[in-house]
Amino acid sequence: MIPITKLYNGVEMPWLGLGVHRAGSGSEAETAIQCALRAGYRSIDTATYYQNERAVGKAVFESGVRREDIFLTTKVWNTDQGYHSTINAFEASLEKLQTSYLDLYLIHWPQSELTFETWKAMEELYEKGQIRAIGVCNFLIPHLKRLMENSRIKPMVNQFEFHPELVQPELLQFCKDNQIQPEAWRPIMKGRVNEIEFLQELSDKYQKSPVQIVLRWDIQKEVVTIPKSVTPERIISNADIFDFELSADDMARIDKLDKNARLGEDPNIHHF
C-alpha cells in the first residue's frame, strides 16, 4: 500500500504516483498504467498537453480498480486558460479520461492575467464537486502570493521541478507555511540521479538504487513524487521505497547537492 497525505481540505492523495509525460498516447501508456496499478500505484499524473488522457482513461477503466480508489490528476494547458476555455478544457478532459470528476486539476503554468479567470473557473468546478482538489504547477512564491491575494480558495497543491540539484528550500517552506502540498516533477532527473556519486555511496549503504534513495528523500521531505516510467521493472522498483528510512544526516547531505539547476523551463519567464 502506498501511503497517503491529506491535503488541507481533507482529500487523501498518495505520496507516490505515476507520471505519464512522454509515455506515448496509446498502448505504451496503457501498459505502463496497468503495470503500475498492479504494482500498487493509485495515482496517475497526466495533462492535456501530454495527449494521452484517452489512454489513461482506457487503462484505468479496463484495470478493474474502482475509479474511487484512483487519484487522477490532469492539467489545464496554457492555450486553454481563461474562464470559458477552462470549463471547456475540463469537460474535454473528463470525456477523454472516461470519468465524471477529477481528483486534482492543476494550472499547468502561470499565464499573466488570464490565470485569475482560469482559477475562478476551477474554484467553481471545485465548489460544484466536479473536482476534489485544485492546484497549480510551476508557481514560485510571487506567483502564489498574487493568486492567494486575489482569490477565494488557495491552491491545495503546487507541482514544480524538484530534485537533488533543484531543492528551492524557500519555496518548500512557503508551501508548508500555507498548507499547500508540494509535488515534485522530474524527481529523478530523467534517471540522471543514478550518475551522482554521493547517491551511489548511499545506494551501497542502504542497498537501494540512487533513484530509490531520491524518491525516499522526497517522501521524507514531505514532497509528493511522480516518477515516470514505461519500463515494468522500473515502475515496480520506483515504488519500492517504503521499507527503509534515510538518516537525518543523509537527508541533509542530499540537500547539499543543490545547485539551483533546472532541467526544465524557468517559471520566472511566466509573468503573473
Ligand X SMILES: NC(=O)C1=CN([C@@H]2O[C@H](COP(=O)(O)OP(=O)(O)OC[C@H]3O[C@@H](n4cnc5c(N)ncnc54)[C@H](OP(=O)(O)O)[C@@H]3O)[C@@H](O)[C@H]2O)C=CC1
Ligand Y SMILES: O=C1CO[C@H](CO)[C@@H](O)[C@@H]1O
Separation CA 107–CA 127 (nearest Å): 17
Q: Which is nearer to ligand X, 60 or 248 (CB)?
A: 60
Rounded to the nearest 5°, which phi and psi values hold at 38? -65, -30
Which one-letter amino acid corresponds to residue 83? Answer: Y
Does 76 participate in binding ligand X (rule CB under 6 A)?
A: no
143 annotated binding-site participant: no
Establish whether 83 is a catalytic residue: no
- Of the listed pieces 61-69, 121-129, 167-175, 180-188, which binds ligand X according to CB under 6 A? 180-188
Residue 4 Cβ vs ligand Y, minimum distance, rounded to whole Å: 23
45 binds ligand X (CB under 6 A): yes
Cell of 55: 489512454
DSSP 8-state class, residue 180: P
**34 forms part of the interface with ligand X (CB under 6 A):** no
For the record, the C-alpha cell of 253 comes out as 547531505
Q: Is 230 helix (H, G, I), strand (E, B) or coil?
A: coil
Q: Is 243 exposed, middle or buried (0-12, 13-18, 19+ CB in 10 A)?
A: exposed
Q: Which of 8, 41, 49, 50 is catalytic?
A: 50
Binding footprint of ligand Y on the chain (CB under 6 A): 21, 47, 49, 108, 264-265
CA dihedral in degrees (169, 174, 176, 181; nearest 10)? -90
Cβ proximity to ligand Y, 183 vs 218, nearer residue? 183
Q: Rule CB under 6 A: which residues touch ligand X?
A: 19-21, 45, 108, 137-138, 159, 185-191, 194, 211, 226-231, 234, 237-238, 264
Residues labelled catalytic? 50
Per the annotation, binding residues for substrate are 108
